[in-house]
Structure 1
């Protein structure tokens, strides 16, 4: 019917005109019909896609920050960090558009002029020499992961591009594009590329660097400035020429950028194998939904202090290396290994850390085909773990679960549970004081008689020095860690009562309900111990330990609030009596009396712990603000060293950690006798240690200091320049003359302290 209509329309025209016209009109009609079918078909296909994914489904790395807003590591998502268009230099946008889509702001998703130009090139060269995809079409392709390069995929991208243009503004499309695009290696988005190639924020890129990044998009692996600097230079120069020809840069700028060599500054590789990160990862797995983990893009604000974390690890390795270098330890280690081999235990040889690393290097040097037949050496050297926490809030400042997280994944700070020995005795005494007894209550230090202890008629533990001193005050038994007195104290307090209060303090897991518990058979991790000892530094109240303070999205909007809690374990009286005795323990004459000689002069309390056959050495102690527990031992129940007491192996580590924390600005005052309340948060610049302002926030060095007892600095930061606030001329205040009447003099308005002033969230 349509063709008959065309024939009738051209019937009266001469044949040599009518026939070409009929053919043209018929082809046009067929084209319109086919086009309409394609529009309907691919419009229907494109409607199956969720167009909101263009902006929402952009996986990013979740960034983990310490308490001073420094990056500890990243988790989940992809190697990408979204940035707003305003943080990208305008010259980079100019370079990108000139390189990829110079009619971006003029077309509606499809550049038909570009399509015609590409078709002409195909006809001319018999092959595709020029792409016709716009930025919007490229965005559709990478959003929905179209791998095929065929007509169907291209038409689908055209339809999606039209929908994208109808949904989002040009700036939104451009911003999403630069945050999605692949820039080579593992870099996704302009922020990752800028950091990966130049160790810079996008806003700090130079003209040459902007041109390079814009130039390599077409083939990021082929033109990578890291692997192929000469190829990167060629495409950079092309882009610089485009900028000059378009009048975006001057001849002087062009010549200067052209003369710059291709220089990259990738950030120093930093292993993210970290015992603190392991704990953060575990906590996030419990908090986040699967979708949050997949998409990432969160900012996790932790309580960790990166400086103190690193210092704690260094201190542990320093002391353990010194122990391994001792002649008596080397002799003991050789003797242990000889006994193991005599029993037929040949795997997992006991070594020093240096010997293990040498064996590992030798293993890696073996040719690959031989290495498959050989077992790699396993780390089996002396270990140590430590936890430092704010004893008023429960905030974890350092979590070190071993000497090297890359060599051993076992996080001994939270996963390894070992007998605590005498470290447990303060909880026995605190339960005793809870029942109304005092530090002066007289207790016998003599041998325990048959049947004296409930539930252990034939049990008679000895004192470590083999002496028995008759009736003594209860405090004497804890200061000198007397076994017979501690068992009698526990017997009077009641085994069930001791277990109940210890569980409230943070001890958990299976426990042998026998009187031997009074001497420390209960197994615990360093985290359990640090948490429990904070009770004595906090007037009988135990804050629940936490490592994640809060979680925001990349724009700073709150996503998850972490609920903080605390509970009363002992009365103030019982806790303060015990704390007073533990402070005596740390003075000359007590089992931890070496603290002063080791250089730590601030008020502190604590207790050593050594288990049978010297298999575990402990020290747990606290100051006015921090509680720290330290464990030393092998991963299996192996004798550390003859006379390897907690006071000689763990105590020096604790002392050095406390000295390091003093250097990091944690104040040590008189130990409090009641539960602390959280104070006001103070915005501080981590680089100058002065009050932060807008310049520090722009430089990302500002953080909220919430440590209890923190004294705010008096001066504003002088290292960074405060940013000028934007405004119009009408906004600029001018001085106006006042008349002499008092009514016209403006008075200072009182500030509502609850409005806009950040406080730490009360527990």
Structure 2
């Protein structure tokens, strides 16, 4: 009896000691326990995502790939697989599974090492959200106490939702939806039972059971989970046998953008970091840009095709490298080190025949390149000369040559090379400045330098319209005559005289401004700038958004010598397209939070005729950012400032339409539209070529040149280098759309003009034509000039002719 009493009291003492120990541990740890309520408002790290205006993914930025799901979005099959693998008693316990803990304690006593933690899913939620991965008894006790609290305050569904969205599953994937995308390129709801079981096996050890790195281990783990699901009654025998027979087909799926607009994505990313700092990468912002996916795709193709066409006009520079006498496997390893650049795939020549060449591509296929696609490849000597035409494919390539191929829509291969020249394209909505499409270079992979907004190059003659516009405000008209004749400038600061000339080195004598513009006569532009005054012209053109400090204070300004970006040029041109208003280009249309709340909506200055009431997307809660400081009300749409007379813009559009109808932009007549206006630009030695053009819907500027300025070739101009790119893009942008001409403003007068004198023509004047004027600038008739005035006598508005020699 004494022994029994001793044992009884000994057991009671042990139980009390354990109870007191646990109570003391609880009292010690409970003050430091975090509030479980925080889990209801937890903010998981979600990457920044950039979209086009029509909802296509452009880019994703952030270290953690995560796409949180609600519980009702989680497939039941996956829940069953997860419970079978991690916690089959989840529905019955209260956060802690005593059997699992005892089993873990037994393993510790037996081996002296912690084998498993005996954790339930609830305990793992406590650890993942509140604790570290440290292996210690104090952390384990804290985890147990937190799990008990979590079970009291959250439902089982809420706990599972927290778990599946938080867990790390390898390859930067956090949460089951991100893992499904990374391993299978699909949503979790689109996976097979076997694929769901594979993902359910990853939480235990993402690196050990990774199906890409360790497919065999992953398969064993998957099959064990499927067997557990069968035993627990979640699946039947037929489903089990089908699933275990399924091969491991996972591979790393990189998040593939739905729209190729990397330069736009980088612009939006930089703006978001400027707004939100490093939180931009983790707070799950959804950024919708102004980019139209259809136009962006066409812009990409236009720039690529234009640069390839230019490049092939100047010959073949030879293979990128040579790998003769190598095996097929060695060639494939070599190709793995070479990226696709701007859609141009690397390939190695394996055989040369009379009909063309056979090449091996990165996917191991051997394909043919027809001789017809190789005939262009005359040897490159310089930008102005090439070698003899090749007669056979062997004159162009040899076995082992690393070349580039372009896959056409019909699957055939074109023989190409990566262009050395670069290009930029900017397309704006002239009514509010929304960027519709933007290309900053041939390939972002090749260079992330955004030439559309960073490269300052001389615009050449595409700058002349701003000088002509300034002259129209000074009283000049399209019918004003200016002398197209040689001119020499002497200055003490110059080593020698400046003798500007026209590109054809010819002179036409007195010529109307309209004709001078569409013929792009340099000497007329210089005389015009000289007549209106440099200071006046500089102050005037700054209205279009150009920085005053970047404008040279000399007569070379008339020839387009300031360094401007394509974005600045396109932005300035919008005033001609929209009736004289200054708009500001913008790329971010709206920013939404992870919950779909509207955090920001662009309110750019708009042309008055374009202002409409903005509609809120269905189900979106708006947090106003453009609010009045006085009463908190949302501000009305901003109105763009008027910077030039609408009549000036209308007349300039008429003159720039003639550039296309009968001037240096005549090639654009192929588009068969009567609402296009534009201007070419070519700088000295053809180092920079431009075309800017528009109708009322789109303003588009294209630049082509080398990053390190050098001549594009003696026969290369804006009209045959930049204009074809502009034409392909604008032809697609305007396809199926009716012609959209600007409305004629009040105060415009149309008169019949004598083409010789630029004066109002009397009846019977040969060659008389109709011209546009502002009502206060109509020219006098010959009768009004008085007797003795010879027909064709040119008089500028200020009644004094500029000097020809200084």
TM-score by structure 2 length?
0.71
Distance 2:465 2:546 in 1: 13
Match of 1:550 in 2: 590
Aligned residues of 2:47 and 2:281 also touching (Cα < 8 A): no
Match of 2:266 among 245, 263, 278: 278
What is the Cα deviation at residue 195 of structure 1? 0.9
Does 2:160 correspond to 1:174?
Answer: yes
Q: 1:223 to 1:623 in 2, by over 3 A?
A: same
Q: 1:529 to 1:407 in 2, by over 3 A?
A: same
CA RMSD between the two structures: 3.4
What is the Cα deviation at residue 40 of structure 1? 1.9
| 1:717-759: CA deviation from partner (whole Å, max 9, x where unpaired) | xxxxxxxxxxxxxxxxxxxxxxxxxxxxxxxxxxxxxxxxxxx
What is the Cα deviation at residue 310 of structure 1? 3.5
Q: How does 1:364-763 map to 2 (within 5 A)?
A: 381-448=420-487, 461-508=500-547, 510-565=550-605, 566-587=640-661, 589-597=662-670, 599=671, 601=673, 603-662=675-734, 667=737, 669-673=739-743
Match of 1:91 in 2: 77
Q: 1:202 to 1:434 in 2, by over 3 A?
A: farther
1:418 aligns to what SS in structure 2?
coil
| 1:404-452: CA deviation from partner (whole Å, max 9, x where unpaired) | 2112121111111001111101111112223444322333333447699
Deviates more, 1:103-112 or 1:388-397: 103-112
What is the Cα deviation at residue 130 of structure 1? 4.6
Q: 1:233 to 1:406 in 2, by over 3 A?
A: same
Distance 1:337 1:409 in 2: 29
Q: 1:399 to 1:511 in 2, by over 3 A?
A: same
Q: How does 1:111-190 map to 2 (within 5 A)?
A: 111-122=97-108, 130-144=116-130, 146-190=132-176
Q: How does 1:118-267 map to 2 (within 5 A)?
A: 118-122=104-108, 130-144=116-130, 146-264=132-250, 266-267=252-253
Does 2:88 correspond to 1:106?
Answer: no
Distance 1:614 1:93 in 2: 66
| 1:88-147: CA deviation from partner (whole Å, max 9, x where unpaired) | 212211221232123334334323343234334555677655541122221232234613
Distance 1:181 1:420 in 2: 54
| 1:538-569: CA deviation from partner (whole Å, max 9, x where unpaired) | 11123211111111123322122223123322
Aligned residues of 1:273 and 1:406 also touching (Cα < 8 A): no
Aligned residues of 2:680 and 2:723 also touching (Cα < 8 A): yes
What is the Cα deviation at residue 624 of structure 1? 3.4
Distance 2:8 2:255 in 1: 70
Distance 1:333 1:533 in 2: 37
What is the Cα deviation at residue 395 of structure 1? 1.7
Deviates more, 1:433-442 or 1:86-95: 433-442
2:523 aligns to what SS in structure 1?
helix
Distance 2:739 2:555 in 1: 37
| 1:480-510: CA deviation from partner (whole Å, max 9, x where unpaired) | 1112222233234443343334333232362
Aligned residues of 1:111 and 1:132 also touching (Cα < 8 A): yes
Distance 1:30 1:179 in 2: 40
Aligned length: 621
Match of 2:276 among 270, 284, 288: 288
Match of 2:619 in 1: none
| 1:342-388: CA deviation from partner (whole Å, max 9, x where unpaired) | xxxxxxxxxxxx9xx98999xxxxxxxxxxxxxxxxx9921111112
Deviates more, 1:246-255 or 1:293-302: 246-255
1:586 aligns to what SS in structure 2?
helix
Distance 1:511 1:500 in 2: 10
Distance 1:252 1:501 in 2: 81
Distance 1:239 1:245 in 2: 10
Distance 1:141 1:245 in 2: 29
1:32 aligns to what SS in structure 2?
helix
Distance 1:50 1:109 in 2: 13
Aligned residues of 1:63 and 1:71 also touching (Cα < 8 A): yes
What is the Cα deviation at residue 296 of structure 1? 3.3
Distance 2:403 2:140 in 1: 52
Distance 2:448 2:79 in 1: 45
Match of 2:769 in 1: none
| 1:616-671: CA deviation from partner (whole Å, max 9, x where unpaired) | 111111133222111111112212211321112111111112233346x7x35223
Q: 1:336 to 1:324 in 2, by over 3 A?
A: closer
2:667 aligns to what SS in structure 1?
coil
Aligned residues of 1:428 and 1:493 also touching (Cα < 8 A): no
Does 2:47 correspond to 1:61?
Answer: yes
Distance 1:633 1:582 in 2: 24
Question: Which sections of structure 2, spanning at least 5 residues, go unmatched?
Answer: 318-377, 386-396, 405-417, 606-639, 746-806
Match of 2:11 among 24, 45, 50: 24
2:599 aligns to what SS in structure 1?
strand
Match of 1:302 in 2: 289
Match of 2:60 among 74, 85, 97: 74
Q: 1:162 to 1:441 in 2, by over 3 A?
A: farther
Q: 1:600 to 1:208 in 2, by over 3 A?
A: farther
Deviates more, 1:260-269 or 1:146-155: 260-269
Q: 1:674 to 1:243 in 2, by over 3 A?
A: farther
Deviates more, 1:522-531 or 1:103-112: 103-112
Does 2:22 correspond to 1:35?
Answer: yes
Aligned residues of 1:385 and 1:526 also touching (Cα < 8 A): yes
What is the Cα deviation at residue 463 of structure 1? 2.5
Aligned residues of 2:314 and 2:380 also touching (Cα < 8 A): no
Aligned residues of 1:420 and 1:524 also touching (Cα < 8 A): yes
Distance 2:519 2:101 in 1: 89
Match of 1:759 in 2: none
2:206 aligns to what SS in structure 1?
coil
Aligned residues of 1:572 and 1:673 also touching (Cα < 8 A): no
Distance 2:744 2:179 in 1: 52
Distance 1:358 1:38 in 2: 73
TM-score by structure 1 length?
0.74
| 1:43-97: CA deviation from partner (whole Å, max 9, x where unpaired) | 23324x8963685341111111112211111013511121222222122112212
Aligned residues of 2:314 and 2:384 also touching (Cα < 8 A): no
Deviates more, 1:124-133 or 1:108-117: 124-133
1:567 aligns to what SS in structure 2?
coil
